[in-house]
Amino acid sequence: MTVDFPRPNRRGILAALGSVPLAAGAWHLGRVEAATTCVLSPSMTEGPYWVDEKLNRSDLTTGTTRPSVTQGTPLTLSINVLSYGSSSCTPAAGVQIDLWHCDAIGAYSDVSANSTVGQTFLRGYQTTDANGQVTFTTIYPGWYSGRTVHIHLRARVYDAAGNTTYNFTSQLFFDDTVTDAVFASAPYNSRGTRDTLNARDSIYNNQTSALLSLTRTASGYAGAISIGLSGLPAATTTAITPASGFWYTATAGGRGVGFELNAAGTRAYVGWYTYDSQGQDIWYAGNATYAGTTCSGTLSQYAGGTALASLGGSAATAASLGTVASFSLAFTSSSAATASITTAAGTTASYALTRYPLDGSSISSPPSWVPQTGWWYSAAYPGTGIFLESQGQVTIGGETYTRLFMVVLSYATDGRAAWYATGGLYGRVTSAGGTLPVFAGTLNEYANGPTLTGNGTGTRVAGERGSISAVFSSTSAGSVTLPSGAVMAIQRFSAF
């Protein structure tokens, strides 16, 4: 697969917090045709298998090789959340929707009775966007004795301090005719005939508004439902606009994130520059959704693109090695966040991220003529990108400079993804006849730093990889002179 760096990826996960006892009130689950058709109904029990795993992901099938998950019939589930009012319903943004259900043979994850303690398959949550919507990727649930086929759902809202201010649970159900068709195939048909249909399920209790609307797809089914919630707080979250630029882990030097939020404040492109298990530098990139205070998405790994030393020559085709992790960033301010990572192998980690001050102490605005902070790319070399940021103003000899930090996300000679960093002062030197912002620095490669989910043995400079200079004809276009001496045109990337 050829990639133009940065390359948008699919939606992924949103952040979440803890739980409190079930609040009093009533809500409705239903296929609402229009906002005014909301009808309230009682909440349903959370059941015995609720575990607050705090898994911020939309794809509930990741992190497991269990056949009863990987071989299950795919189900894409879209949920529209509405705030019920006396005369109408409106989209409810910032509501955390948590789902959990059994696999194709009726087993829940992280349950001792199912011998699945420590596993987290088919659990996760998202937060509704500005339109009150969330989408999950999962499988059609199986069955276990005494219950009809169902999915558990919890809706929560938090205040700015992270306290739960709203908490409801219910369940979603399936048409028995569709279920019979699904259960005729493996792995569902390994268990015989189920003992409870909708009509005999005391929790479902003929509440047809809790039935999913199901549509056959090429690979499985798409399910949709609208839920109307009563008593939602007037403001679910206080929106935060995180700063685009470099972020880092103060307690794990050498690992950082290039983060850029689009102008609409709805999507972000994120690049993690970190290290692999052997201590070699590596980068991952991904597209993310953003709503309120959280963004989430997936990180992909690339390989085989044009090596740094070969930029300026023939372009090599970069290939995607697939998704390596899902992530979320929960922002507490424009300059502080908590990153939550779940790798494809199921390893999880959480750590604080803060904005990176280029002068070592504080962040201030640069001059207006600096190149835009964020992602840049070369149309000639797909799969290669540059993230840069300028901060502050420094006057030297009557001339104005700013501090610039740049990370080139490229490839090593063996094809692996590798990153190179440089930083320093640059500016318009008008007394020398210069009219364009110029920069010159040395690209360094690093090693032995922290991995995406762990710690390193002590970040060190692996070596200097040559000089680089940049000239910008505008705030969104320029060129860089590479270590090879070749000049490469670059431009802003904004297609996310």
259 and 216 in a common domain: no
Position 11 in a domain: no
Whole-prediction pTM: 0.57
Residue 10 located in a structural domain: no
- Let me know whether 90 and 154 are in one domain: yes
What tokens does 225 get? 């439902």
Q: CA gyration radius for the chain?
A: 25
Do 274 and 216 fall into the same domain? no
**Does 190 share its domain with 333?**
no
pLDDT of residue 51: 95
CATH value at residue 138: 2.60.130.10
* Domain housing 104: 27-229
User: 250 and 219, same structural domain?
Assistant: no
Same structural domain, 313 and 181: no
Domain boundary among 180, 202, 229: 229
Q: Last residue of a domain, which of 173, 201, 229?
A: 229
SS3 label, residue 182: helix
Whether 192 and 305 map to the same domain: the answer is no
Angle at 190 between CA 188 and CA 191, to 5 degrees: 85
Report the C-alpha gap between 61 and 74 in whole angstroms: 9
In this structure, the answer to whether residues 124 and 273 fall within a common structural domain is no
In eight-state DSSP terms, residue 316 is P
Quick check: is 480 in a domain? Answer: yes
Q: Which pLDDT score is estimated for 31?
A: 33
Domain count, the chain: 2
Convert the pLDDT of each residue in 180-190 to its tens digit: 999 999 999 99
C-beta of residue 353 within 8 angstroms of C-beta of residue 469: no
In a domain, 346, yes or no: yes
The reply to whether 263 and 338 lie within a common domain is yes
Residue 461 falls inside a structural domain: yes
Q: Are residues 183 and 150 in the same domain?
A: yes
- Are residue 269 and residue 199 in the same domain, yes or no? no
The DSSP H or E segment spanning 222 is strand 221-229
Contact 180, 188 (CB under 8 A): no
Rounded CA-CA distance 27/142 in Å is 26
Establish if 240 belongs to a structural domain.
no
| Phi, psi at 297, each rounded to 5° | -175, -160
Does residue 60 belong to any structural domain of this protein? yes
34 and 148, same domain (yes or no): yes
H or E stretch at 488: strand 487-492
Using the 3D structure, point to which of 201, 229, 257 is the last residue of a domain: 229
- Position 7 scores a pLDDT of 28
Q: Give me the pLDDT at residue 395, please.
A: 84
pLDDT in tens, 324-355: 999 989 887 888 888 989 898 888 888 889 99
Instruction: Let me know: does 285 contact 460? Beta carbons within 8 Å.
Output: no
Q: Is residue 167 part of a domain?
A: yes
pLDDT digit string (tens) for the chain, length 496 residues = 222 223 223 222 122 212 222 232 333 333 333 333 455 555 899 999 999 988 888 899 988 999 999 999 999 999 988 887 666 677 888 889 999 999 999 999 999 999 999 999 999 999 887 778 889 999 999 999 999 999 999 999 987 777 889 999 999 999 999 999 999 999 999 998 999 999 999 999 999 889 999 999 999 999 999 888 888 886 544 567 899 999 998 888 789 999 999 888 888 999 999 999 999 999 999 989 887 778 889 999 999 999 999 998 899 989 999 999 999 898 878 888 889 898 988 888 888 899 999 888 888 888 888 889 999 999 999 889 999 999 988 888 777 888 999 999 999 999 999 999 999 888 765 544 444 567 889 999 999 999 999 877 777 888 899 999 998 888 899 999 999 999 999 999 876 6
